[in-house]
Amino acid sequence: MSDNVKWHGTTIVLVRKNNEVVVAGDGQVSMGNTVIKSTATKVRKIEKRNVIAGFAGSTADALTLFERLEAKLEKHAGNLTRAAVELAKDWRTDKYLRRLEALMAIADKEKSFIISGTGDVLEPEENVIGIGSGGNYALSAAKVLMETDLSAEEVARKAIKVASEICVFTNNNVKIEKI
């Protein structure tokens, strides 16, 4: 595989509305201009800590980071803010982790964050996060849909649908986790 062939194809949207928190992701994984898989699962739930996460980027990298997040949550007694900051610090400074290419959108009942490999832990001002190749399309759609009577899950599903109609690296095979 050529170094300039990149894996694409993730759209993640996280919506917080009416005491419901939902993370939704599409199912498409692409390499170059070829769809490799249409049913990938890019969202996860940590049942024990009531935390949900969606990830964009290399699958192996994202799963590694998800495992690290789970360990940080255990270490910090479920404190999502502390776990997110500690994960971001490790991600930025650890020789192995800093090579990982991914973004994470994570949430519990109170807080939502975007975590990046550059050490960023961003808490959105509004109740919507969008990441990945179609993230901005889903984010825009979700922001408009937040003004309707739709539930958080309906907003997330429709936002992914909108992104799938615009972004060639996104499909409408939606997977959802909610708390």
Question: Which 3 state secondary structure label does DSSP give 65?
Answer: helix
Active-site positions?
10
Q: How far apart are CA 99 and CA 94, in angstroms?
A: 9
**What totals of helices (H) and strands (E) does the chain contain, helices first?**
4, 12
Q: How far apart are CA 95 and CA 87, in angstroms?
A: 14
Contact status, residue 150 vs residue 158, Cβ threshold 8 Å: yes
Cα-based torsion angle of the residue sequence 156, 140, 25, 73 in order, rounded to the nearest 10 degrees: -90
